[in-house]
Amino acid sequence: MSVVDTIEPVDRKDFVPGVRGTDKPPGKGDLAMALVFYVYPFIRGFYFSLTRYNLLGTPHFIGLDNFTKLFQDKLFWNALLVTVEYVLINIVFQTILAVAIAVLMHRLTQSTVIRGLILLPFLISNVIAALVWFWLLDYQIGLVNGFIAAIGFDKIPFFGDAAWAIPTIAMVNVWRHMGYTALLVFAGLQMIPGYVYEAASVDGSTEWQSFWRITLPLLRPILALVLVITVTGSFQVFDTVAVTTQGGPGNASRVMQYYIYQKGFTEGQFGYASALSVILFIILATVALIQLRLLRAGESDLA
């Protein structure tokens, strides 16, 4: 029996449901905001996905033709596979590094200065971060490749090689977002009662055993939130690609959002771009629901 199994249930009467400590239901203003900023744009976008439309004319209804064309589009499938590759790299490294940083902060220091420094990359805009790393990793004049050449190795075309483009873009975004993710995990760690670790120590549990048997299970709700946020955000990567590779070399870094942008704003096929957006929305909603269900995000081992 693990220490988690012996934890007494928390009295739920101490918690008051609702918004900001009240159980007041959403008002008419909240409903109106949802209709204006969420429901109406979705319905309008879905309607455009059923049309042939550009900004210079009126929408012409064509039914499901855009979706039929989409599933036969090799560039769509390529963009989807490239996006999945990016998501997997980004999620694995960002989650592992964020948990490691959060645990180290929790164990070694809780200084607000350290937290601020860790969060600093997240406060830099995506475009600026992408530009800085684009210059640092430039094949000809980049400081990183200059250092690689100085120690006797061949320079690496980080953004100019099909094998390196997506991993490099993923690492840039891992650097920018892992501090924010680490602070979310750190907040979850602070919610774990200290007596749980004390009881584990009395039972002879090592730090490593406590991490796997106590910390990770009790972090499940916050990790579920983190994974949903990072996965949905990763599927929507755009600005880093637009600033650095523009989908190249070839189609090696043409992610879904960039392909939607190209179809809509470069080629003027707003109906087809809307169909791509609808498919992306369905993918994101499905992945988020599966994650929440599998990770049991609404449950806690402390309850």
Q: What is the structure's pLDDT at 265?
A: 92
Q: What is the structure's pLDDT at 193?
A: 87
What structural domains does the chain harbor? 45-294 (1.10.3720.10)
Read off the pLDDT of residues 55-91 as tens digits, 9 standing for 90 and up. Answer: 788 899 999 999 999 999 999 999 999 999 999 999 9
Q: What is the structure's pLDDT at 287?
A: 92
- Scored b (16 or more CB within 10 A) or e, 205-238 reads beeeebeebbbebbbbbbbbbbbbebbbbbbebe
Q: What is the structure's pLDDT at 260?
A: 96
pLDDT beneath 70: ranges in the chain:
1-27, 297-303
Q: What is the structure's pLDDT at 302?
A: 61
Separation between Cα atoms, residue 66 and residue 146, nearest integer Å:
48
- Scored b (16 or more CB within 10 A) or e, 255-286 reads bbbbbbbbbbeeeebbbbbbbbbbbbeebbee
Q: What is the structure's pLDDT at 297?
A: 61
Q: What is the structure's pLDDT at 299?
A: 65
Q: Do 49 and 252 touch, CB atoms closer than 8 A?
A: no
Q: Over the Cα atoms of the chain, what is R_g?
A: 23
**Residue from 137, 143, 288, 132 nearest 224 by CA:** 288
- Scored b (16 or more CB within 10 A) or e, 41-55 reads eeeebeebbbbbbee
Q: What is the structure's pLDDT at 26?
A: 65
Amino acid at 74: K
Which tokens in the block code for residue 7?
A: 């934890």
Q: What is the structure's pLDDT at 210?
A: 87
Q: Do 52 and 60 touch, CB atoms closer than 8 A?
A: yes
